[in-house]
Structure 1
Amino acid sequence: MSQTTVHALTPASAQWPALPALGNLDAYISAVNRMPMLTAEEELRYARELRDHNSVEAAGKLVMSHLRVVVAVSRQYLGYGLPQGDLIQEGNVGLMKAVRRFDPEQGVRLVSYALHWIKAEIHEFILKNWRMVKVATTKAQRKLFFNLRSLKADLKASHAMTEGEQYRTSLTDREIDEVASQLNVKREEVIEMETRLSGGDVVLDPTPVDEEREAGHFAPIAYLADHTHEPTAVLEAKERNFLATDGIQMALQTLDERSRRIVQERWLNVNDDGSGGMTLHELAEEYGVSAERIRQIEVAAMKKMRKAMVPALAAA
C-alpha cells in the first residue's frame, strides 16, 4: 500500500493519531486497528459537518475510524491470490466513496452503508485482475463468481458423502440445481462458472529449461503468436494478392487468343469444388486438334505467363 494514500486519509485534528510512513502491511493493519472508534453521536455529528460544510476534517475522521472495517473485509477475498495490500487499497477507495455519499438522516450507521461500497470496489478489482480473460460480466455472473466457492463448501458439508467421494471437487447434478436455485441463475451458468474457476491460470511465456524444449514442451506463447504481421508474411500476402488480380490479367494479355482461352477454360473458369472447367478432350474437339496438342499449347502458355509476371511482380 502506498504511503501517499495513507497520508491522504490522515485527519488534521491533533486528537487523532496520524499514520506514520509504514514499511509493511502488518504495520499498517496494526496502526489502523488502534484508531479510535466513533460513537453513534460522534458519527452523526461528523457526517452532518461533511454534508453541510464539506468539512475535510470530518470526512477524515469518518474514514479513519472505519479503516479497520476495510481490513476485515479484505480478508474474505484472500483466496483469489491477489495481494491483501491491493485489496485494502481498493476497499479504501470504496470507503471514501461511501463517506462522500452517506446520508446521516437515514437512521443507519456508516459501517452498514459502507460495506456495500467497500465490497463493490474489491469485487471490481478482483474481476479485472484475477484472470486475463474476464470471468463475469453480468450482475448474475458476478453474484455467482463470488458465492460459488462458499456454496460448494456448504453443500459438501451438508450432504452425506461416501468415503470414496471425500476428495470429489466437482458439483453433482443435484448440487448444480441447488446452486442455480439459491442464486437465481441458469443451470448452464453454474456449470460454466465452475469450469472457469476450477481451471488454473496458464503462464503465457515462462522460460522453459533446455530439457523441456528438447522434449517439445513449449509455453502457449509459442503457438498463440500472431505471425500475420511479420515482414515476410506481409510480403508474401502482397505478392499473392497481386498475382491473383492484376498480375494474372497482365500475363494473359501476352498470349494469343487461342492460348488465352485454353488457359481460362482450364484454370480460371473452375468452381471451388474443381468443377466447371473444360477438359483437354473437350477443347481438342472444339479446335479440331488432339488432346496432346492442347496440352502442349497450355504448357507453353503457362511458361510465357510466368515469364511475363516476373518484371511485373518486381515493379509491384
Structure 2
Amino acid sequence: MELNEIDVPVKNVPVLTPEMSFTSYVESIRRYPVLEPQEEYDLAMRFKMQGDEAAAHRMVNSHLRLVVKIASQYRRYGLPMPDLVSEGNLGLLRAVQKFEPEKGFRLATYAMWWIKASINEYVLSQWSLVKMGSDAVQKRLFYNLRKVKAQLGLYEDSDMAPADVARIAEELNVGRDHVVNMNRRLMARDSSLNAPVSGEIETERMELLIDDNPNQEDTYAAFEERTLGRQLISEGLAALNDREREIIQARRLVDDPMTLEDLGKRYGVSRERVRQIENRAFQKMQSAIKAAALRLRAPIAQGLDLLPAPV
C-alpha cells in the first residue's frame, strides 16, 4: 500500500524511524487519549462530511497504540519493528479514510482488519525464505501451521510423523506435501530468531516475542470480530432458499458435518446432486457476503473465513 493511495493527511502522524527507539515511539504516542464513542463518531462525521483534516488526525493518533499492539504479534517473523508499525499505520490510515460511523461499529473494530491486512501482505512479501506471493494455500499454512501443531502437542521446531502431517493437511484443507514443505521452511527460518538483534545489544529475537495469552482487550476485540463475522454469514444465508440453507448449515456450519450420502437420503436425491446444490448455494452466499461486506466496509474474508471447506 502506497502513501499516495491514502487521502488522510499524514504530516502530523508520528513515525517510527530506524533511528528512533521503540520505547521512545511508544512513549510519544501515549500522549494521545483514547476517544469516547460519541467523540469518535463526531470526529468521523466531520472528516466524512467536511473533509476535516484535524478530525482525521485525532482519529489516527488515538489508534496508533492499536497498531503497535497488532504489529508486536508479528515480531516472530524476524522483520524490523519500525517496518511492521509503518505498514500497520498505512492500514490504519486506509481504515480512517473508509470508516463509516453510521454503521454502528467502533473504529478500532473496523481498523483492526485493515491493519492486519497491511502487515500480512508486508510479511509475505518480505519473508526471504518463503516466497509465496498470493497463493492462498501457502498463506493459510504460513499463518496457521504453528497454531495447529501446538494444538496437537507437537514441537514447533521438529519434523512431523506422517500421521501428524495427514491430520494437519486435513485440518487446513491442503495437500500433505504443502504441509511438509512449509514446516521445513518455518524450521529453517526459526533458526535465525536465535541471532542477536544487533551487534551492541546481545538480545536474541526469541526474547522479544510477545506473550500470546489473551488479555481483556484481545478477548473483547475477538468477540466483536466474531459478531461481525456472524452478521455477514447471516446475510449470506438469507440469500438462500430453505433447502440450500439447510444443506450449507449441515455441511459447513456444524462441528460434525453430514456426508453427501446422508443428505442425499434425506432429500431423496443423488450424492452428486447434493454436491451441486451445495456449490451453487456457496456461490450465492459468496455474492451476498461480498455485497454485505461492501455495505459494512468490512473485509470480505471476515465472513468467508467462517465457512470451512466441504468434507
Name the TM-score class by shorter chain: 0.5 to 0.7
Please tell me the root mean square deviation across aligned C-alpha atoms, in Å: 3.0
What residue is the counterpart of 2:58 in the other structure? 61
Q: Quick one: percent identity of the two aligned structures?
A: 37
Give CA deviations for 1:125-160 in whole Å, capped at 9, x if unaligned: 111212166135312321221121222223226xxx
What residue is the counterpart of 1:147 in the other structure? 144
What residue is the counterpart of 2:49 in the other structure? 52
CA distance in 1, matches of 2:135, 2:156: 32
Kept in 2: contact 1:144–1:193 (CA 8 A): yes
- The partner residue of 1:8 within 4, 7, 10 is 10
- Which residue identity is paired with 1:180? A
- Residue 113 of structure 2 is aligned to residue 113 of structure 1: no
Kept in 2: contact 1:35–1:64 (CA 8 A): yes
Give CA deviations for 1:161-209 in whole Å, capped at 9, x if unaligned: xxxxx79712333332333333332333222211222224999xxxxxx
Bigger Cα Rg: 1
What residue is the counterpart of 2:178 in the other structure? 189
Alignment of 1:9-158 (within 5 A): 10=12, 23-131=20-128, 134-156=131-153
- The alpha-carbon distance between structure 1 residues 149 and 202, as it changes in their structure 2 partners (threshold 3 A), is closer
- The alpha-carbon distance between structure 1 residues 48 and 182, as it changes in their structure 2 partners (threshold 3 A), is farther
- What's the CA shift for 1:23? 3.5
- Which residue identity is paired with 1:99? V
Give the number of equivalent residue pairs: 183
- What's the CA shift for 1:58? 1.1
Kept in 2: contact 1:9–1:60 (CA 8 A): no
- The alpha-carbon distance between structure 1 residues 179 and 40, as it changes in their structure 2 partners (threshold 3 A), is farther
Kept in 2: contact 1:91–1:118 (CA 8 A): yes
CA distance in 1, matches of 2:89, 2:156: 38
Kept in 2: contact 1:136–1:145 (CA 8 A): no
User: Quick one: higher RCO (CA 8 Å, sep 6+), 1 or 2?
Assistant: 2
Kept in 2: contact 1:9–1:63 (CA 8 A): no
CA distance in 2, matches of 1:110, 1:153: 32
Kept in 1: contact 2:149–2:156 (CA 8 A): no
Task: With the length of structure 1 as denominator, give the TM-score of the two structures.
Answer: 0.52
CA distance in 2, matches of 1:167, 1:94: 30
- The alpha-carbon distance between structure 1 residues 111 and 20, as it changes in their structure 2 partners (threshold 3 A), is closer
- The alpha-carbon distance between structure 1 residues 149 and 108, as it changes in their structure 2 partners (threshold 3 A), is same
CA distance in 2, matches of 1:178, 1:54: 52
What 5-or-longer segments of structure 2 have no aligned partner? 1-8, 193-311
- Which residue identity is paired with 2:54? E
What 5-or-longer segments of structure 1 have no aligned partner? 1-6, 12-17, 158-165, 204-316
